[in-house]
Amino acid sequence: MTDSPSDPKLRIINLEKRYGDFVALEGASLDLADGEFLTLLGPSGSGKTTLLLAVAGLSEPDGGEIWIDGALATYLPPYKRDLGMVFQSYALFPHLTIRDNIGFGPKMRGWSKSRIDEAVTRALDTVHLPHLADRFPRQLSGGQQQRIALARAMVYEPSVILMDEPLGALDKKLRDQMQYEIKQLHQELGIAVVYVTHDQEEALVMSDRICLMRHGGIEQIGTPADLYFRPNGLFAADFLGEANLLSGRIVEASATPVVKLAEGLSIRCVGDHTFSQGDQVRVMVRPESVTLLGDGQQADNSVPARVRDVVMSGATTKIFLTASAGFDLFATVLTNNAGAHVAKGAEVSLGWSTEAAVVLPDGGE
């Protein structure tokens, strides 16, 4: 395999990893394009960190191949893989200054002092912390330490940067701030990134593409919009964000199939799977797609319902409802929206578009 402009920076082919009888990774395959930010997302035990460690050379796979910049790297030692690593623990050397922490990698690679000084200065400028060069890690805040860890990973301009839950130790406000800072740095530098997290919101905010994992396998790879609005199964629909998942059967198999819900109501949907009449399915409707219809308003699908509860959570308000057909669902609206002030027990009419109702195979999950 030779490197060409069309080759991915990273290619993983049928990667496998077992610990005794436990299958940690099974048949995982993906490509990472030059400059792409790819997030490995999934619950604990899904295989995302196992996959990252195999790419880093810190865990030897039992099968499959890893290609970096067009060269086979499956069994190369970590120091020959041209990768940068950022961990949740930061892993900064406490006895070294920030300048020496960042310069440690280039020094181990045999760079000249002048080249190291230039690269460290550039890295500190990139993360906007040049004034901290002569301090020690203990003198920095958590957010500053995280930025230094990023500077250390990017200082020698590696082919790919790997990040393993780097924001997991930060409080929510700082984590949100760092998400945008990392995203901005990625856009400025154009380095390919593989990022591990179990936080769905983090994945949606930061990623060019998301690789959703479960039970050591890859469930779906796509843009955040792909996974959020057109999931390929119940796991993706339920794991990424919130969703109303309604049970029913196909009564009209077409490009926009009609589903008769278990409670008797028929709704028109969209979907990427092929169904036959009578198939048992689930319909996903995101709560923000559910609208409380005012007088004279109409929607592709409309349902009379009663308000069970209203819960305000800052910028948004959740409205929990029971449809007249008997099933429960909920809507999410902006708190300043008129719908946010609907009274508990009120009789309302709900609506959503055909495109907002995605029909999925019912896997019994």
pLDDT in tens, 308-333: 999 998 899 999 999 988 889 999 99
Q: What is the pLDDT of residues 216-225, one digit of tens each?
A: 999 999 999 9
- Give the DSSP letter of residue 270: B
d(CA 66, CA 362): 35
Regarding whether 217 and 307 lie in a shared domain, the answer is: no
Please provide the DSSP assignment of 87-120 as one string. Answer: ETT----TTS-HHHHHHHHHHHTT--HHHHHHHH
Q: Are residues 229 and 246 in the same domain?
A: no
Residue 5 covered by a domain: no
**Per-residue model confidence as pLDDT tens digits over 53-111:** 999 999 999 999 999 999 999 999 998 898 988 887 778 899 999 999 999 989 888 89
Q: Which of 51-65, 163-177, 250-264, 332-346 has the highest mean pLDDT?
A: 51-65
Whether 67 and 127 share a structural domain? yes
- Does 192 lie in the same domain as 100? yes
Distance between CA 65 and CA 62 in Å, rounded?
10
Whether residue 3 is predicted with pLDDT greater than 70 in this model: the reply is no
Q: What is the DSSP string of 235-260?
A: HHHHHSS--EEEEEEEEE-SSS-EEE
Considering only the C-alpha atoms of the chain, give the largest distance between any 2 of them, rounded to a whole number of Å. 75
| pLDDT (mean) for 244-251 | 94
Q: Which two tokens stand for residue 98?
A: 């920030």
Structural domain including 197 reads 10-234
CATH of residue 73's domain is 3.40.50.300
C-alpha triplet 122, 126, 130: angle, nearest 5° = 70
Our count of domains for the chain comes to: 2
* pLDDT given at position 365: 56
- The first and second tokens of residue 70, run together, are 């067009």
Q: How many CA atoms lie within 13 A of 356 on its CB side?
A: 17
Are 105 and 17 in a shared domain? Answer: yes
Contact (Cβ atoms closer than 8 angstroms) between residue 102 and residue 48: no
Residue 213 has pLDDT above 50, yes or no: yes
DSSP 34-73: TT-EEEEE-STTSSHHHHHHHHHTSS--SEEEEEETTEE-
Q: What is the rounded CA–CA span in Å between residue 104 and residue 85?
A: 13
Average pLDDT in the 220-241 region?
94
Residues 218 and 260 both lie in one domain: no
Based on the domain organization, do 92 and 60 belong to the same domain?
Answer: yes
The answer to whether residue 3 sits within a structural domain is no
Side chain identity at 277, as an amino acid letter?
Answer: Q
Q: 219 and 134: one domain?
A: yes
Q: How far apart are the first and last CA of the chain?
A: 41
Output the pLDDT for position 310.
Answer: 94
Question: Is 1 a member of any domain?
Answer: no
Query: CB burial class (10 A; 0-12, 13-18, 19+) of residue 130?
Result: middle
Same structural domain, 170 and 257: no
pLDDT tens figures, 159-177: 899 999 888 777 888 888 8
pLDDT of residue 364: 58
Whether residue 80 sits in one domain with residue 170: yes
- Cα–Cα dist 214/212, whole Å: 7
Beta bridge partners of 272: none
| Per-residue model confidence as pLDDT tens digits over 19-29 | 999 999 999 99
Asked if residues 192 and 114 have their Cβ atoms less than 8 Å apart, the reply is no
Average pLDDT over the chain, rounded to whole?
Answer: 90
Would you state the pLDDT for residue 4? 45
Query: Is residue 149 located within the same domain as residue 166?
Result: yes
Least confident range from 93-97, 176-180, 277-281: namely 176-180
What pLDDT score does 2 carry? Answer: 44
Of 215, 234, 253, the residue that ends a domain is 234
Q: What is the Cα–Cα distance from 200 to 206, expressed in whole angstroms? A: 10
CATH number at residue 288: 2.40.50.100
Give the pLDDT score at 6.
61
Residue 146 in tokens: 């995280």
